[in-house]
């Protein structure tokens, strides 16, 4: 409630600042007496709008998963700088983390955003979205107001959503390509491990995969909030039962528009959004400070509470396992009282693991444990001891340390294909 009041006041102040002929205090009271005629909110920008705003061509696509969720994807089909629309353009799919969306890859702008860098390197760039976030709130038969819509964890996002995105991008590209490059951050890595281990035939559709802050095993993670809540939500009990099958941080169109109008570049209170970013990230953040206003406009993007519970289960069990429904349902679904472990040894695609010492969600020990089970991996340890979980997407030098090295690896792979 406090957040709502703050955003309404912030928006009202931003508007009253443009009408100096009347006392701002009196004008603000008018908004609360009768807000509808006075506050005109600009529509929220989509990922496609942001792409076009930087001069790149943008497309919006939708596909339907095997279990009926309608998935929205955004695409930079070619680079306006290269004018390479008639040339071969390898496909790359980029997948966001928990609480995020494709908007997360827009934060760094055209110079440091990995999607823009890839487009300028000649790639056909696709931005995925997980079911339940800002862009994926539709199903062929279920209403978002029914608990059944939210009865999914990141298992279904990997098993169904990522599979549907890969297949759609391959079909839509129109160049007869049979495989793609993949980049995922945080949950975007978890869902990759899920798909490739439960449907190993999809490994053949991957050229290179880049896991930024990979999350699978979580025994050694140091996030205080997770460690506090996991003993309650990481088990099948009354707490998790009350928490399950709901939207977490519910998406609200008015809230989103208020945040966008308050934090948009033309707003008189734009600077306050930087302050919010500093409060969230801390004074020693490595993030490019220009990302904070856009982050406030677009995040959190929403998810299912089951995604959170599934991660809590991972932390408590020390196992990278399927969802724990409780003994009775586990026996019915899995034929065993405990959920089975994901067979990550079946992930034969080339996996690059990008990890760091200061990541409180993807501990080095947990990443190394995962690496021991992967048959085809390359380790990329970040030398900077302060490199944190979010730095893989918002670091002020992310282009130098992440984007360019990934593109070099992908380019080397593509050159080897040509020489075969």
Nearest 5°: the CA angle 10, 16, 18 is 115
3-state secondary structure of 386: coil
Distance from C-alpha of 156 to C-alpha of 307, rounded to nearest angstrom: 10
350-386: buried (b, 16+ CB within 10 Å) or exposed (e) per residue? bbbbbbbeebebbbeebbebbbebbeebeebebeeee
Cα separations in angstroms, 313 against 240, 249, 307, 339, 370:
10, 20, 10, 11, 17
Distance from C-alpha of 324 to C-alpha of 197, rounded to nearest angstrom: 18
Residue in 116, 108, 112 with CA at minimum distance from that of residue 291 = 108
Distance from C-alpha of 43 to C-alpha of 257, rounded to nearest angstrom: 6
Residue in 268, 310, 276, 309 with CA at minimum distance from that of residue 293 = 276
Residue with tokens 């080897």: 416
223, 359, 366, 391: the catalytic one is 359
Provide the residue count of the chain: 420
Distance from C-alpha of 320 to C-alpha of 342, rounded to nearest angstrom: 6
Q: What is the CA radius of gyration of the chain?
A: 22
223, 389, 391, 393: the catalytic one is 389
Residue in 188, 201, 125 with CA at minimum distance from that of residue 154 = 188
Please tell me what DSSP assigns to residue 287. Answer: B
Distance from C-alpha of 257 to C-alpha of 240, rounded to nearest angstrom: 32
Residue with tokens 């496909």: 91
**Residue 359 appears among annotated catalytic residues:** yes
Residue in 114, 133, 346, 134 with CA at minimum distance from that of residue 257 = 134
CB atoms within 10 A of CB 285: 20
Strands (E), 59-100: 59-64, 70-76, 91-95
179, 186, 304, 317: the catalytic one is 186
CA count, 13 A, side-chain hemisphere, 36: 0
State residue 181 phi and psi, 5-degree precision.
-100, 150
**Residue 143 appears among annotated catalytic residues:** no
Catalytic residues: 186, 359, 389
């Amino acid at each position: 409630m406090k957040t709502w009041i703050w955003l309404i006041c912030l928006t009202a102040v931003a508007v009253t600042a443009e009408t100096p002929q009347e006392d701002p205090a009196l004008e603000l009271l008018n908004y609360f007496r009768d807000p509808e005629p006075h506050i005109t909110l600009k529509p929220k920008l989509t990922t496609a709008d942001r792409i076009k705003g930087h001069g790149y061509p943008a497309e919006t696509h939708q596909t339907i998963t095997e279990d009926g969720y309608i998935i929205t994807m955004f695409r930079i089909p070619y680079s306006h700088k290269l004018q390479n629309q008639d040339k071969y353009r390898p496909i790359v799919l980029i997948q966001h983390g928990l609480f995020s969306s494709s908007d997360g890859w827009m934060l760094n702008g055209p110079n440091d955003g990995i999607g823009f860098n890839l487009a300028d390197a000649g790639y056909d760039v696709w931005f995925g979205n997980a079911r339940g976030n800002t862009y994926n709130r539709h199903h062929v038969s279920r209403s978002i107001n029914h608990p059944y819509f939210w009865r999914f964890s990141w298992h279904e996002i990997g098993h169904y959503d990522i599979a549907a995105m890969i297949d759609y991008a391959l079909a839509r590209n129109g160049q007869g390509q049979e495989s793609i490059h993949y980049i995922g951050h945080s949950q975007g890595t978890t869902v990759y491990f899920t798909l490739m281990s439960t449907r190993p035939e999809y490994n053949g559709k991957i050229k290179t995969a880049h896991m930024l802050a990979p999350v699978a095993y979580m025994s050694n993670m140091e996030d205080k909030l997770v460690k506090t809540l996991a003993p309650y939500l990481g088990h099948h009990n009354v707490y998790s039962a009350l928490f399950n099958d709901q939207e977490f941080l519910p998406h609200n169109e008015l809230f989103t528009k208020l945040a966008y109008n308050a934090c948009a570049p033309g707003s008189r209170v734009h600077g306050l959004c930087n302050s919010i970013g500093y409060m969230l990230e801390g004074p020693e953040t490595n993030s490019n400070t220009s990302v904070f206003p856009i982050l406030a406009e677009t995040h959190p993007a929403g998810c299912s509470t089951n995604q959170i519970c599934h991660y809590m289960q991972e932390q408590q069990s020390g196992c990278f396992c399927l969802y724990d429904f409780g003994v009775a349902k586990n026996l019915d679904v899995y034929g065993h009282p405990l959920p089975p472990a994901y067979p990550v040894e079946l992930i034969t695609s080339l996996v690059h693991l990008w990890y760091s010492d200061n990541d409180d969600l993807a501990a080095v020990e947990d990443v190394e444990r995962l690496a021991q089970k992967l048959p085809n991996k390359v380790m990329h340890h970040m030398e900077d001891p302060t490199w944190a979980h979010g730095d893989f997407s918002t670091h002020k030098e992310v282009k130098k340390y992440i984007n360019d090295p990934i593109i070099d690896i992908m380019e080397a792979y593509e050159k080897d294909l040509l020489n075969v």
